[in-house]
Chains A and B, each alone.
Chain A
């Protein structure tokens, strides 16, 4: 974990959960794993504060814990889970487009809580929906809880939400000591049963007996093995806890990226064909494999959405385009069923990642540098002179740009000496591009850029705190006057914010919006780079 990355994690946690939690989290990230005692000692907070912080982090699935051989409990942070917080808006939006408003609210609730029981999530969602119905003044009938429950089941079926891992209880049976390892992933997606929807009104978390509810109020007792927060009790004892399954969302994002690329390369209809193929393969292929399972022509044709059905001949042409062109996103692997087609997920992701990197080279170094960069990508090991010739650039300019890219680690240099003394005159110098290295480097910089954006945004807001507070107060007064119907006074109050202050306020909110938007856009680049790297660095096991 690099310095930049730790810094970003700190910024994110600070923004969402406050400074104490952020300090505990970044200490855990730096130290890999530690016990409560060590954390207290090193962060200089008292143990109550640390426990609170740990509780928040555990609930947000950022920290897990396990018992060492000596019996003490070690806390470990998962930094990637912190970075996922940046994607919350995307997850929520995705749930909405896939399954509608109710799903959106359910996912939002689960994300906010980190872990929660389905029962209360359903109740909250139902209430929110009905409230907005009422306030919009429509006279539609109330939405029933069972409807939302069905939505929740749907989300589980789509694997967008899942059960939390069990917590192993210590000897006393009162306190969890470790999060159990999942041996059977399917268990996490067992559909919710009636018991999962049970709620105890008035309580945030369900409790079947007194002891449990006490534990729930976080018993992070200092000392020995019982310094554990209650997490999830045995299933038999009550409703289980649920959380969002970010991986499934990521698969979905990945598919969206591929679909968008097809739309750019061919056209909108081609992207619909790709969408259909990805949807078909979703349930059938291992989400991590490099290629999808083969899909037959008939299958694809039948699965096309009703309003986008294509003539056989046209579909055939589109599949040909996809497989003979378009960076080989698709390969034809057989003739049965009117032709068997396979999606080359990895090839597609790689092409997209390369394209992203190329746009970065273009913006940073200009079109001539991009030309040389692509010469290196195509020809692998190239001498400076050859690069100039292939790219048809004047030697002086070419040299300048090449060394600029080299200095910024976009390209690398290999030395090949004819003699053991490595005398420069008898040495060949080859330029090349290591995609993995470049991706990693850019990824780092994206982390840094996001962190910069956040810092700047916070600074911008804190510098203008007085003004922003004033705006809040004025707005509150206006709202209450509105309710009383006092028009005259209202105008008077409105005047309290001077025009120059108004202009300033607009500037602040514009700047904050620009920065927030950049954070989201940066995350898209991060997502693509991370996806590419995860495919390259941990290739999925070959199926037996």
Chain B
């Protein structure tokens, strides 16, 4: 009966919301705030307002006025009465979109499933449904030009939004780079601290310079640079980029006890490293970074005898 729950909310709020939904289910005519208050006596007004507002904004409740009283009633996304006045075709399309849940469905697939041959008709139906705020179109990150449809009140799946690295299906490169830099800073600080504490014990020092993705995540969260809640997995992806930058190194540590989530008894640990060698002499000469080196010959148009890169470099 209730709309599928997509978002994980802090547990207490969820309790209140769930209770409200339940109450509404029992009273299809609608309930007032007093009813809720009685049903959840431990809640204060603040919490109730938050919960109701959230339900309203996610379109699961609707607001009714009966006399001076305000009533909350369940908004039923499912029933045909929402699509009232609609023809069968519209209903079929609505059902197909609903089945796709928060993954969404692509126009072409709707067409195939619904057997609607005429694209124009289908587009019209989709427009109709959209204007009624029953469905919405979401840009998928997987294919930049592809739109998928899902029910209006749903939060799109990660595979559609691309997770925390995307906003409005644009890849947030700067965000990634900031996190990358902060994570690096954290690991470097670790290494410095370890150096101070264990100057005489290289192995202990090495061990102390490692940090888990969890440690880094906590640091980043405390910094408050991320508006999005990041998971450990997200953090690992960021740390991976550090490894690929050649700035960090991955190792594993056995924790002794198997962790409940992964059933693994080892955790990934990271530490800051410096490159093994100095910058190669090759790229310290202009020729090393020269864009036309392949066309540079002794007597050609481009030649070391006349080269301006060398001239600037030698100031001669």
Beta-carbon contact of A378 and B283 below 8 Å:
no
Beta-carbon contact of B201 and A394 below 8 Å:
no
B282 in complex: contacting residue of A7, A267, A397, A445, CB < 8 Å:
A445
Beta-carbon contact of B287 and A363 below 8 Å:
no
What residues on A are CB-neighbors of B278 within 8 Å?
Answer: 359
What is the CA–CA distance of A362 and B284 in the complex, to the nearest angstrom?
12
Asked if A525 lies at the interface with its beta carbon under 8 angstroms from chain B, I say yes
Beta-carbon contact of B304 and A352 below 8 Å:
no
Beta-carbon contact of A392 and B275 below 8 Å:
no
Q: Which A positions have Cβ atoms within 8 angstroms of B?
A: 7, 260-261, 264-267, 269-270, 314, 316-318, 320-321, 325, 327, 351-352, 355-360, 362-364, 367, 370-372, 374-375, 378, 390-395, 397, 442, 445-446, 448-449, 451-453, 455-456, 459-460, 507-508, 510-511, 514-515, 518, 520-525
Asked if B273 lies at the interface with its beta carbon under 8 angstroms from chain A, I say yes
Beta-carbon contact of A317 and B241 below 8 Å:
no
Within 210-250 of B, Cβ neighbours of A (below 8 Å) are at 237-238, 240-241, 243-246, 249
What is the CA–CA distance of A442 and B243 in the complex, to the nearest angstrom?
24
What residues on B are CB-neighbors of A359 within 8 Å?
Answer: 275, 277-280, 283
Beta-carbon contact of B202 and A265 below 8 Å:
no
Beta-carbon contact of B307 and A460 below 8 Å:
no
What residues on B are CB-neighbors of A371 within 8 Å?
Answer: 241, 244-245
Closest 5 CB pairs of A and B: A521-B281, A452-B304, A317-B203, A363-B283, A449-B287
What residues on B are CB-neighbors of A453 within 8 Å?
Answer: 285, 287, 304
Residues A325 and B173 in contact in the complex (CB < 8 Å), given A261-B276, A358-B275: no
Q: How many residues from B make CB contacts under 8 Å with A?
A: 48
Asked if B315 lies at the interface with its beta carbon under 8 angstroms from chain A, I say yes
Beta-carbon contact of A364 and B276 below 8 Å:
no
Beta-carbon contact of B314 and A511 below 8 Å:
yes
B200 in complex: contacting residue of A314, A325, A355, CB < 8 Å:
A314
Q: How far is the CB of B307 from chain A (nearest CB, A)?
A: 7
Q: How far is the CB of B248 from chain A (nearest CB, A)?
A: 11
What residues on B are CB-neighbors of A265 within 8 Å?
Answer: 273-274, 276
Q: How far is the CB of B218 from chain A (nearest CB, A)?
A: 21
Q: Taking A267-B202, A525-B281 as given, write out 17 further A-B residue pairs in contact, using a Cβ cutoff of 8 Å, ordered by the A residue number.
A: A260-B277, A317-B201, A317-B203, A325-B206, A355-B246, A355-B275, A358-B246, A358-B275, A359-B283, A363-B288, A364-B283, A390-B244, A391-B241, A442-B282, A453-B304, A521-B285, A522-B282
Asked if B116 lies at the interface with its beta carbon under 8 angstroms from chain A, I say no
What residues on A are CB-neighbors of B27 within 8 Å?
Answer: none
Beta-carbon contact of B277 and A456 below 8 Å:
no
> Which residue of A has the minimal Cβ distance to B172?
A394
Beta-carbon contact of A321 and B206 below 8 Å:
yes
What is the CA–CA distance of A467 and B41 in the complex, to the nearest angstrom?
100
What residues on B are CB-neighbors of A375 within 8 Å?
Answer: 244
Within 163-213 of B, Cβ neighbours of A (below 8 Å) are at 165, 171, 173, 176, 180, 200-204, 206
Q: How far is the CB of A431 from chain B (nearest CB, A)?
A: 14
Q: How far is the CB of B207 from chain A (nearest CB, A)?
A: 10
Q: Which B positions have Cβ atoms within 8 angstroms of A?
A: 165, 171, 173, 176, 180, 200-204, 206, 237-238, 240-241, 243-246, 249, 251, 273-285, 287-289, 293, 296, 298, 304-305, 307, 310, 313-316
What residues on B are CB-neighbors of A451 within 8 Å?
Answer: 304
What residues on B are CB-neighbors of A521 within 8 Å?
Answer: 281, 284-285
> Which residue of A has the minimal Cβ distance to B142?
A385
Beta-carbon contact of A522 and B281 below 8 Å:
yes
Q: How far is the CB of B282 from chain A (nearest CB, A)?
A: 5
**A-B residue pairs in contact (CB < 8 Å), sample of 8:** A314-B201, A359-B275, A360-B282, A363-B279, A364-B288, A370-B245, A370-B246, A453-B287
Beta-carbon contact of A360 and B288 below 8 Å:
yes
What is the CA–CA distance of A523 and B310 in the complex, to the nearest angstrom?
19
What is the CA–CA distance of A269 and B180 in the complex, to the nearest angstrom?
31
What is the CA–CA distance of A355 and B274 in the complex, to the nearest angstrom?
10
B277 in complex: contacting residue of A352, A442, A518, A523, CB < 8 Å:
A352
> Which residue of A has the minimal Cβ distance to B240?
A390
What is the CA–CA distance of A264 and B279 in the complex, to the nearest angstrom?
13
What is the CA–CA distance of A371 and B247 in the complex, to the nearest angstrom?
10
Beta-carbon contact of B171 and A395 below 8 Å:
yes
What is the CA–CA distance of A317 and B240 in the complex, to the nearest angstrom?
28
Q: How far is the CB of A355 from chain B (nearest CB, A)?
A: 4
What is the CA–CA distance of A351 and B278 in the complex, to the nearest angstrom?
13
What residues on B are CB-neighbors of A393 within 8 Å?
Answer: 173
Beta-carbon contact of A449 and B285 below 8 Å:
yes
What is the CA–CA distance of A515 and B285 in the complex, to the nearest angstrom?
9
